Amino acid sequence: MISFRLGVDDLADTRFAISPLSQLMESLRVLRAPALHPLHRGWRHTVLDALAPADRPLLSALVGPTLALPDFLTPRPTAYAPTLDEELTAVRATPPDVVRLDLRAAHAPRPLPAALHPATAPGDGPVLELLDALCSLLRRYWQTALLPYWPRIRLVLESDITHRAGQLATGGARSLFSGLHPNLGWRDGVLSVDKMIGRHAVDGAGRGLRLVPSVFAHKPAPPISADAPPMLAYPGRGTATLWEPEPAPGASALTALLGAPRTTLLRLLAEPLPTVELARRLGVTPSAVSQHLRVLDATGLVTRARDGRRVLYRRSALGERLVSG
């Protein structure tokens, strides 16, 4: 079990973040252990077919035998949504001793695989060359594996954060942590992560907690090191719909009346949904969805209600009659 002792200051500084590098590194676990990630089977096959053979050994070596990831490649975000370039810049500044330590920790108790042997060479030169090669490799992998899908992935993450922020606002820390994952427990100011290989406790010490949702995580994943500041990657809500095809509006009188985008929205609103979730499902921006929702609301086809910080939309009785034909 790994635990975080969080004081009042830590809870006050509990923040969410969207980390491209965290998504990238978590996705390597999908390539390594497909049985744990059946939802991403199609994505995995597509990515493996597109990867350069020369890149595969080093990418595979970044995931330890227990699926651990080196801490320096999953740095704690310093902003809500840093860019990949900003995160890779931070990685390039990692001291060589930390690179060695984190790589060994990820692969313990086994020795480092051959692709990472420069980390065992004397002097800092080989480690710095390895670090540069890793950053270049991760950028290439990003271009192939995540960038084409990033708008959809980001909308899933933003929708999750909106939901979790509502839980925190209305139910406090206990409501938030109990809803993140069954492996998490919250009691007497301690957030515990069960079913972990590591066994250590981390004192927040006023550093706050960073919560990073991930579409590729299958369970909560804290840093390996007990010295790292409190951070937790966790499975994002709504990942199961990530690869669903966009709903196709049929050629109907309703489509002719409202247009395809508004008809599609009306069909989706059989259940209450926020703007960000509608945008994610349609693969468009929230602002585009908001424009259509304003029209549907003004014509009485949808109703809206506030849920904490979110506004939820749903078909009205008139909208139901139109959709039912």
Q: Is 195 exposed, middle or buried (0-12, 13-18, 19+ CB in 10 A)?
A: exposed
Q: Lowest mean pLDDT of 62-71, 136-145, 150-159, 250-259, name the range.
A: 250-259
Q: Which amino acid is at 263?
A: T
Residue 249 has pLDDT above 70, yes or no: no
Ramachandran sector of residue 187 (left: φ over 0; alpha: ψ -120 to 50; beta: rest): beta
Token pair in block for residue 78: 């310093």
Please tell me whether residue 311 adopts helix, strand or coil conformation.
strand
Euclidean distance between CA atoms 128 and 132, whole angstroms: 6
Output 174-183 pairs: Cβ under 8 A, ≥24 positions apart.
180/211, 180/220, 180/232, 180/234, 181/219, 181/220, 181/234, 181/235, 183/219, 183/220
| Beta strand residue intervals within the chain, DSSP E | 2-5, 14-16, 184-187, 190-193, 200-203, 209-214, 231-235, 273-274, 302-307, 310-315
Mean pLDDT of 241-253: 65
Answer yes or no: are the C-beta atoms of 223 and 231 closer than 8 Å.
Answer: yes
Whether pLDDT at 293 is above 60: yes
Domain map (residue ranges) of the chain: 2-239, 253-323
Indicate the fold that domain 253-323 takes in CATH: Arc Repressor Mutant, subunit A (1.10.10)
**How many CA atoms are closer than 13 Å to the CA of 252, on its beta-carbon side?**
16
User: Would you state the pLDDT for residue 216?
Assistant: 96
pLDDT in tens, 78-113: 999 999 999 999 999 999 999 999 999 999 999 999
Task: Assess whether pLDDT exceeds 80 at residue 57.
Answer: yes
- 273: alpha, beta or left? (left if phi > 0; alpha if psi -120 to 50): beta
> Taking the CB of residue 321, how many other CB atoms lie within 10 A of it?
11
